[in-house]
């Protein structure tokens, strides 16, 4: 049988070995983490059909290891109302009127970056002669040439970043948008009040509505809420959220959404009405007032009851005085 001292020594050795192994694995994971930055995250270019445009983009290695970064260009679409870009795997651009990946060339296609190093790349846009007027879109993606590490399912972990490229071909561009919905809670007790607007872009180009929500109370007081700048891709809808950051509100309110979009300064607008009634607080105040009124009434009744009694006592006293006066005579 192993002596207690020997057993303690063995346990201590095992704990040290496990701790050392854990520290090594943690260090390995930290060193294999990959960080990249794309500069700028979005690039807007206006170029004529059959023309050309040259721009500079940058990629930065944020990791602690030297990396070979490969750059490629992919098409993407937006299908949700949050503006999330989804990469298209198909190389057939005939089904995507907005595709522009085949127009873009990147030089050099790959670079070696030391930790913390930033390098410039040349982006050249060469649209064809038959390019349709309006917006065309692509994504420049930077990814490490070799990526180490597996996730829990055994699939390789791919980390990449990209620059969204918005290309505008001048010409007869259709520009049209509407407010699909403008919603607010119809009844609230207190603020803040949240607004949700969905704007549908039926244009041949992306738009960025600029405007505000103007809130007017039943007393005529006005509050202006500025809309956050938001890109809406062609033939997609985008949800815009805003908040009236006031707690103490009362009565009926009117909210007018007004926003300008496009190169022609077109306007979209919508109106909603809502109520803010702090009914619990009103009930509490009403109950307190009722209790005070009842207490006042009870007090007044007690005063009225005690007053006649005092008057009778005074009359009796006067009668006694008169009796005594006439008795003396």
263 and 208 both lie in a single domain: yes
Number of residues written out for the chain = 329
Interval 163-174 mean pLDDT: 94
Q: Do 104 and 181 fall into the same domain? A: no
For residue 209, the domain's CATH number is 2.60.40.3880
**Which pLDDT band, with edges at 50, 70 and 90, does 99 fall under?**
very high
pLDDT confidence of 93, banded at 50, 70, 90? low
Q: What is the pLDDT of residue 97?
A: 87
Per-residue pLDDT reduced to its tens digit, 215-240? 999 999 999 999 998 999 999 999 99
Q: What percent of the chain has pLDDT over 90?
A: 60
Q: Which residue has the higher pLDDT, 91 or 195?
A: 195
Find all residues with CB under 8 Å of 182, minimum gap 6, and list them.
195, 196, 197, 198, 255, 257, 270, 271, 272
Residue 74 falls inside a structural domain: yes
Q: What would the mean pLDDT of 4-20 be, rounded to a whole number? A: 40
In the chain, how many domains are there? 2
pLDDT at 259: 96
What average pLDDT does range 102-117 have in this prediction?
95
CA distances from 204 to 135, 168, 170 (A): 6, 10, 11
State the residue range of the domain holding 162: 33-149+157-169
Model pLDDT for residues 56-90, shown as the tens digit of each residue: 999 999 988 899 999 999 998 887 777 788 888 76
What's the Cα-to-Cα distance from 23 to each of 17, 29, 148, 150, 152, rounded to whole Å?
10, 10, 19, 19, 20
Place of tokens 């009403």: 286
* Cα–Cα distance for residue pair 59/38, rounded to 1 Å: 5
Pair (47, 126) in one structural domain? yes
Counting residues of the chain whose pLDDT is more than 70, the rounded percentage is: 76
Which tokens hold the place of 245? 């950051």
pLDDT at 23: 34
Q: What is the pLDDT of residues 177-206, one digit of tens each?
A: 999 999 999 999 999 999 999 999 999 999
Token pair for residue 71? 């750059």
Residue 135 maps to which CATH number? 2.60.40.10
| Helix or strand holding residue 298 (H, E) | helix 279-328
Token reading at 255: 């909210």
Please give the average per-residue pLDDT across 274-292, as a whole number: 92
pLDDT of residue 7: 38
User: Which residue, of 169, 197, 216, is where some domain finishes?
Assistant: 169
Residue 306 has pLDDT above 70, yes or no: no
**Residues 136, 100 contacting (CB under 8 angstroms):** yes
Q: Measured between alpha carbons, how far is 20 from 1 in angstroms, rounded to an integer?
A: 29
Strand bridging mode 104-107 / 161-169: unpaired
Does 105 share its domain with 41? yes
């Amino acid at each position: 049988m192993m002596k207690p001292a020997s057993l303690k020594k063995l346990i201590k050795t095992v704990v040290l070995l496990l701790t050392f192994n854990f520290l090594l694995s943690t260090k390995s994971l930290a060193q294999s983490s990959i960080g990249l930055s794309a500069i700028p995250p979005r690039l807007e270019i206006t170029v004529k059909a059959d023309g050309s445009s040259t721009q500079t983009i940058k990629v930065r290695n944020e990791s602690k290891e030297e990396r070979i970064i490969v750059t490629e260009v992919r098409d993407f679409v937006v299908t949700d109302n949050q503006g999330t870009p989804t990469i298209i795997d198909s190389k057939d651009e005939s089904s995507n009127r907005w595709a522009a990946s085949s127009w873009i060339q990147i030089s050099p296609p790959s670079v070696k970056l030391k930790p913390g190093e930033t390098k410039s790349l040349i982006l050249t846009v060469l649209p064809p002669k038959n390019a349709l007027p309006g917006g065309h879109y692509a994504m420049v993606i930077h990814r490490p040439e070799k990526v180490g590490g597996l996730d829990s399912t055994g699939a390789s972990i791919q980390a990449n970043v990209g620059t969204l490229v918005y290309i505008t071909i001048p010409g007869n561009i259709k520009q049209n948008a509407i407010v699909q919905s403008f919603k607010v809670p119809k009844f609230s007790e207190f603020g803040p009040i949240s607004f949700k607007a969905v704007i549908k872009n039926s244009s041949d180009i992306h738009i960025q509505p600029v405007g505000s929500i103007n809130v007017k109370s039943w007393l005529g007081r006005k509050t202006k809420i500025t809309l956050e700048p938001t890109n809406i891709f062609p033939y997609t809808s985008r949800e815009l959220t805003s908040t009236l950051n006031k707690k103490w509100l009362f009565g009926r309110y009117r909210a007018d959404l007004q926003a300008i979009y496009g190169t022609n300064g077109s306007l979209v607008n919508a109106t909603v009405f809502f109520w803010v009634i702090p009914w619990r607080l009103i009930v509490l105040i009403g109950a307190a007032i009722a209790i005070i009124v009842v207490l006042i009434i009870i007090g007044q009744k007690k005063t009225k009851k005690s007053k006649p009694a005092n008057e009778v006592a005074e009359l009796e006293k006067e009668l006694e005085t008169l009796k005594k006066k006439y008795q003396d005579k």
